[in-house]
């Protein structure tokens, strides 16, 4: 029986992309749920792993996204069970928030496009984040940030501008600020006008991401494979 992974899609325009392709290639049954369009499961019974994707929200932005209450409960269940979990951008922030860390809106440096991410010593030894090697360019797209990790979290990676780029809770729950599911090609769908308002050039961001696309893709694939390696072969339910 294949492992089953629930993927919470917090923004209908930002699905699992190549992450789903790579997990499927490993024989994983990927179960995406677009939270704005369908109810999330009330528990993780029957799932062997959890992926929480990004979105332009805060972890407790319940007025705009009522499903976040259920998503936080699922995150707490995953942390308590030490279920293989990968929180990406908002998903990583939500894990930090649930576990007692601090996330602040529009705080600190804004990171867009391909950004060098360097693992810590613990990250180089981690079963998943060791995929970055001595460092790798990963796609970033955030203006909110984790300002304090939970007390029990292990810092796994940082960028030059933002310390809390990746962390682990327990043995199998990880959050990342960057987007391993996103490639250089995905930047073409970004809002050029909004980026110009922040002082960015979409063309320049795309060109920079394309220059490091091979490195980014290889590191991202290794990271997803590392997550897949931690999944059991059978179901929980």
CATH code, domain carrying 93: 3.40.50.880
- Residue 125 located in a structural domain: yes
Q: Is 181 a catalytic residue?
A: yes
- Residue 165 located in a structural domain: yes
**Of 71, 111, 140, 181, which residue is the catalytic one?**
181
- Residue 234 located in a structural domain: no
- Residue 236 located in a structural domain: no
Q: Is 172 a catalytic residue?
A: no
Q: Which regions in the chain score pLDDT beneath 50?
A: 234-237
- Residue 237 located in a structural domain: no
**Of 89, 111, 140, 172, which residue is the catalytic one?**
89
Interhelix angle for 18-25 vs 213-229, to 10°? 50
pLDDT on residue 234:
41
Return phi, psi of residue 216, to 5°. -60, -45
pLDDT on residue 236:
42
- Say how many domains are in the chain: 1
- Residue 207 located in a structural domain: yes
Q: Residue 33 sits in which domain range? A: 4-229
pLDDT tens, 27-62?
A: 999 999 999 999 999 999 999 999 999 999 999 999
Side-chain-facing half-sphere of 237: CA atoms under 13 Å: 11
pLDDT on residue 235:
39
- Residue 15 located in a structural domain: yes
Q: Residue 20 is encoded by which pair of tokens?
A: 């789903």
pLDDT on residue 108:
84
What CA–CA distance (Å, rounded) separates 132 from 144? 23
What is the maximum alpha-carbon separation in the chain? 50
Q: Residue 203 is encoded by which pair of tokens?
A: 């063309």
Q: Is 152 a catalytic residue?
A: no
- Residue 169 located in a structural domain: yes
Return phi, psi of residue 10, to 5°. -85, -20
Is 62 within 8 Å of 56 (Cβ atoms)?
A: no
Q: Are strands 166-169 and 173-176 parallel, antiparallel or unpaired?
A: antiparallel
pLDDT on residue 178:
98
* Distances from the Cα of 218 to the Cα of 122, 133, 174, 180, 228, angstroms: 21, 11, 19, 10, 15
Strand partners, 31: 6
């Amino acid at each position: 029986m294949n492992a089953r992974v629930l993927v919470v899609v917090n923004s209908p325009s930002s699905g699992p992309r190549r992450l789903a392709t790579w997990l499927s290639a490993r024989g994983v049954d990927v179960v995406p749920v677009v939270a704005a369009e369908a109810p999330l499961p009330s528990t993780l019974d029957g799932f062997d792993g959890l992926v929480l994707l990004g979105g332009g929200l805060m972890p407790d932005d319940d007025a705009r996204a009522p499903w976040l209450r259920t998503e936080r409960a699922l995150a707490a269940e995953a942390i308590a069970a030490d279920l293989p979990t990968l929180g990406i951008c908002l998903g990583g922030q939500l894990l930090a928030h649930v576990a007692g860390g601090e996330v602040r809106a529009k705080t600190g440096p804004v990171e867009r496009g391909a950004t060098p991410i360097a693992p810590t010593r613990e990250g180089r030894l981690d079963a998943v984040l060791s995929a970055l090697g001595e460092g790798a360019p990963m796609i970033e797209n955030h203006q909110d940030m984790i300002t304090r990790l939970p007390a029990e979290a292990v810092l796994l990676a940082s960028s030059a501008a933002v310390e809390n780029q990746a962390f682990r809770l327990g043995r199998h729950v990880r959050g990342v600020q960057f987007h391993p599911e996103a490639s250089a090609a995905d930047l073409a769908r970004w809002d050029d006008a909004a980026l110009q308002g922040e002082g960015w050039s979409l063309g320049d961001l795309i060109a920079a991401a394309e220059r490091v696309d091979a490195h980014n893709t290889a590191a991202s694939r290794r990271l997803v494979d590392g997550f897949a390696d931690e999944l059991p072969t059978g179901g929980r339910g």
